[in-house]
A and B are shown apart, each in its own frame.
Chain A
Amino acid sequence: MAITDDVLVIGGGLAGATAALAATETAPDARVRLVTAKQSTLRHASGLIDVLGYAPGSEDHGHEQGQKQKPIVDPFAELDTLPTGHPYERVGGEAVRDALEFFDDIAGDAYAGGHTDKNALVPTHGGTVKPTARYPAATADGLASDDRDALLVGFETLPDFEAPLAAAHLEAAGAPFDARGVTLSFPGIVRDDAKVTRYAHLLDRNERVASEAGAGEIGAREALAAAVEPHLEDEPRVGFPAIVGDDRPAAVRESLADALGVDIFEVPMGPPSLPGLRLEDLLYAALENAGVRVTSGVPVVDYETADGAIDHVIVDRNGAEIPHEAAQYVLATGGLVGKGIESGRERVSEPLFDCHVPHASDRYDWFVDDVFGEQPYARFGLAPDRELRPLDANDDPEFRNLRAAGAVLGGYDYAAEKSGAGVSLATGYVAGTRAGEESE
C-alpha cells in the first residue's frame, strides 16, 4: 500500500526542514511528510545563520592566500547584484528577507541578530572573525563587533580551541577590544579524550565534581566559575568554546554569569558542533509542532514517473520497499558533504533522480591549485529555474513537480561567500511555499 501525502520533502537538514515548515504554513490542510536517510550535516555546522559575508566571484585571481576582500556590512543590500544562476538570484532578494523572517519566528529567543540588516562579526575558534546575519543566543554577548573587552577560556583537554592564541589572533584581525586568553583544566573531566557532550552534560546536570579547594564536592557550574574567577580582571564578558550546556544552555550561562558577574558567551566550534545540534533540535521541535510527519533513517531508493512528473518514490524501510506518493516533491538532500551530490572518477551526479549536474568532463578541471582559490567543485549542484525546479541539460525542468533546495543546488560557493544557511533558508522557504501552493 502506498503512503500518500500532498508534499514530500526528501532531506532533513536546514533546507528540508524549512521547506516542510513553509509548505505547512502555506497550505495548513496539506499533509506534509519529511523523510531523511541519515543524520543531517548540521552536526558539522557552526550554528550561525550566514546570509552573505562576501560577494561571490569578485575575488582577485592569483591573490595571496587569505587576502581577498572585506566582509559585507549589509548582505540584503547586495542580493540584487548576484550573478545569474546564483540561488539568491533565482528566488529574488525579497524571498530571502521573507525566509529570514520566517526563521526568526521559528527560532524565537534562541537566535539573535534580527534587529538589524547588518552582519555581525563573530569570533571563530581559530581566532579570526566571520560575518554572519543571525547567531545563537549563546553567542550574542560574544560579537567581535561589540567593543567590550573579553576573557577567553580554553581547556587543556580541548585542543580545538587554544584561548590565548585565539585572543592574539583577534588582536591581529583588528578586533576593537582587548582579548586575553587562559587555558584551564575542566572540573570533572577525567578522560583526556572526553567528548564535547560530556562537558556539556556536566554543566547541564550540574554534576557533583571535586572542588579545587579540596572542600569536598561541589556543582560543576560552581566549580567552573571558581576556576575562572582568579583569572578574571575587569573584562565584562567571558567566552568559552561551544560546550556550555546541551539541553539547558541558557540556564548554564545564567549560573555562570551570576557567579562571575559577567556576561557569558560561546565561540562557535567545528564538528561535532553543539550549536549545530541545538539548531537541529529546534527545527525538529518546530516540525513536530507544525504537524509535519517525519520519518528518519529511510533512504529513497527509486522513483516512477507519469506524464513528466514524479508519480511516486520508493522508500526503503528496513529492507521493505514502500511507495510514497505526493503531489509535490522537494529535494533537499545536501551537497557533496551530505551526499545529495555524488561523484566518481568520470562524472558528478545527483543520485536519486539523476538530475543534471553541470560539471567539466575532465576531473582535473574540478579544482584549482590554491586550496582557497575559486574551486569549481564547491559550486557543483543542480541548476534550477526561478521556481527552483531542477533543469536538464536543455534547460527544461526535469520533472514538473520536483523542486530543489539547499546545498543540492549549484552555482554558488557557500564556503567562500558565507551563504550556506541563508541559501538553505531562502530556497527551502520558496520551494516549500510553492509546493504547498501547488499541492492544493
Chain B
Amino acid sequence: MAHDTTVLVLGGGSTGCGIARDLAIRGVDVTLVERGNLTGGTTGRMHGLLHSGGRYAVSDQASATECIEENEILRDIASHCVEETGGLFVQRPEDSDEYFREKLAGCRDCGIPATVLSGREAREIEPYLAEDVARAIQVPDGAVDPFRLCVANALDAERHGARVETHAEVIDLLREGDDIYGVEVRHDSGPGKRTHATPGTTEEITAEYVVNATGAWAGRIGAMADLDVAVRPSKGVMTIMNVRQVDTVINRCRPKGDADIIVPHETTAILGTTDEEVDDPDDYPEEQWEVDQMIDTLAELVPIIEDARTIRSFWGVRPLYEPPGTGTQDPTDITRDFFLLDHAERDGVGGMSSIVGGKFTTYRAMAEEIADHVCAKLGVDARCVTAEEPLPGSKDIAVLEEGMDSFGLRSPIARRSKQRLGSRAPDVLEPAEDEANPVICQCEGVTRAEIQDAVEQSGSDLNAVRIRTRASMGNCQGGFCCQNMANELHPRYDEQTVRDALDELFQERWKGQRHALWGEQLSQAMLNYALHATTMNRDNDPANAPAQVDYAQFDGGA
C-alpha cells in the first residue's frame, strides 16, 4: 500500500522537530504535523535553562550525565541559540551542608565541571546575590532560546525534504485492526495558516510509521486508538523580569523546592518554577500565589527582585511519565528520564511509538534514540549525524561578529540581530541594504528585515513572527510595536488578515501580562490600553461592527 509519507511525526516541539530533522538527514521521508505553532506546547513555555546536569547530580545521575553530554553538543551545533552564562548552586545559611557536599560529589561523579566558591567570590560574579549567601558551586549551566533552536531543527528538516505542517490538529488516528497507518488532521483557520491551507478542511495523512511526540498531550493521541499512555502533566510557573538582575544562572542548592532558579535570558531574567500535577494540559489554573512565591522565595537569593519590575508570567506543562505501578506521589520526584513506548511490544498495536517524559536539554539524544528505533523498524541503515552537523545559522558566528556595522544597523541592534540569526544573518539582512530597514520593535531592537524574514517563514501569524524574532517580548509587551509588526504583513496579506493577526497578537501579549499587573507593568498596561483603545479605537473599530456607521451624521468640518 502506498503511503503519503514514510514517517509521520506528531508534535512540533523540540522532540518532534528533533526527530524530524534526524530522520530527514538520514534520508527518510518525513512529515511533521503540529496543532498550533512550532513550540506551542511545552517547548515554548520553559525557563530557557540549558542544564549542566547539576540539578540532577544528586537525585538522578543518569539524567545528569546525559545533560552534560548534550550541553556540550548544543554549545557546538547551536551556538547561536545558546548563551554560555555559567551557573551557580547557591547555599544560604539555612541550607544543608550535607546536601552541598552531595551536590559537589554528584557533579564530579557525572563529569560536570564544578568549582566551589566562597560567598564573597560568588558575589564578585553576581553582585546582587544576598549578603548572607554562604558559598556556591559553579557549573556550566547556560541559557538557551527554545524558539530558535526548535525552529532551526524544523528548517533543517525541511531543507532535507521534510514536510512541516503547523496548525494541523490530529483529530483521529487511522487504525485498521492492530495496525496504525496514519492520522486525520484538521487544517485550522489559525494564524499563519490563513493562506497556506483551506481552514476547516481535513486531510488524511498515511504513513508507514507514526511517532507520537506530543509530550503532555501524548495520552490524548493514544486514546484515539484506545491506547493508554499515562502521562502525568505537571505545571510550572515562570515569571519574567524586565531586566537581567543576574548574568549567571542562579540555582538554590537544596534538595528540591519551588522557586529555586533564575535564568538570565536575552534582556530579561526568568524566575522559576513550581511543579504541580494537573488533569488537563490545556486547561489548568494559573494562580496568583505561584507568582508571589517566585518573587518572595527567590528574593532570598537576590533581594532586589522583591521590588523589581516583572513584565509577565507564563505557565508550561511538563510531560512527566513513569512506568505503570511506580506510584510516585509528588511530581517533583518523578524521573525526568524519557520513555519510548513501542505500542507493538506494549499493546500489540503496530505502526506507532510514543515518546514521553524527557527534558529540553536532551532533546537531541532522545531524537537520536527514537530515530534509531524507527530506522530499525523500517530497515533503514543510516547513521545519526545530528551531534556533529551544525544547525542552520550556527556557523561562523565569530566571522559575523566582525562586521558589526556592515549592515548599516546601529551596533547593539546589529549585534543582537546577528546573534539571533547566526550564520543566516547575511541572507536575511543583505537584501535590506538598499532598502530602509527601520527598527520595528524598540524594546528588543528588531528590524524590518528580520520581521520580513520571519513572515517569509511563518506567514501571517504574528505570534510565530514573535517567537522567531522576540519582537513584542520586551518591556512594553507589544503596546508600542504590535501595530508596527502587523503593518509589515501588508501588502503581502490583505487588510482583514492583518487586522485579525494584530488582534490575535495583542490578546496573546495581554494573557501573560495579567500575572504581572502591578507597579510599573500596570502603568504600562494602562498606557498600552490607552494607545490601542483611545488613540487607535481598536476596541470599537467600525470595521468590526455589524452595523454601518452613518458618517453623514457627524461633524464633516466647518
Contact = CB atoms under 8 A, between A and B. Distances in A.
Interface residues of B, number: 68
A302 to B, nearest CB: 21
B518 A126 contact: no
Contacts of B295: 345
Interface in A30-51: 44-46, 50
Contacts of B523: 336-337, 339, 343
A73 B510 contact: no
Contact of A141 (B495, B529, B557): B557
B541 interface: yes
Nearest to A67: B544
Contacts, number: 236
Contacts of B200: none
A120 B554 contact: yes
A162 interface: yes
Interface in A86-144: 112-113, 115-116, 118-121, 124-131, 140-141, 143-144
A429 interface: no
Interface residues of A, number: 87
Contacts of B532: 372
A173 B496 CA distance: 11
A335 interface: yes
Contact of B545 (A67, A342, A364, A375): A67
A169 B522 contact: no
B537 A418 contact: yes
B536 A66 contact: no
Interface string B523-558: 101110111111111111111111111011111111
A73 B447 CA distance: 41
A146 B557 contact: yes
Contacts of B545: 66-68, 70
Given A157-B436, A377-B517, A143 B557 contact: yes
A185 interface: yes
A156 B438 CA distance: 8
A158 B438 contact: yes
B18 to A, nearest CB: 34
A270 B542 contact: no
Contacts of A193: 410, 438-439
B522 A130 contact: no
B539 A270 contact: no
Contact of A159 (B484, B491, B525, B548): B484
Interface stretch (B25-33, B352-360, B462-470, B498-506): B498-506
B310 to A, nearest CB: 10
Given A366-B517, A377-B517, A173 B549 contact: yes
A364 B288 contact: yes
Interface of B: 288, 292, 295, 408, 410, 435-440, 447-448, 480, 483-484, 487-488, 490-491, 494-496, 498-499, 503, 506-507, 510-511, 514, 517-519, 522-523, 525-527, 529-549, 551-558
26 contacts: A50-B534, A54-B540, A67-B545, A68-B540, A71-B540, A118-B554, A119-B554, A120-B554, A120-B555, A128-B537, A128-B541, A130-B536, A130-B540, A140-B557, A145-B557, A156-B438, A164-B491, A165-B487, A168-B494, A172-B495, A172-B496, A192-B447, A337-B523, A337-B527, A367-B517, A378-B529
Given A126-B538, A165-B490, 9 more contacts: A65-B507, A70-B542, A115-B555, A147-B552, A172-B495, A173-B543, A174-B548, A335-B526, A345-B519
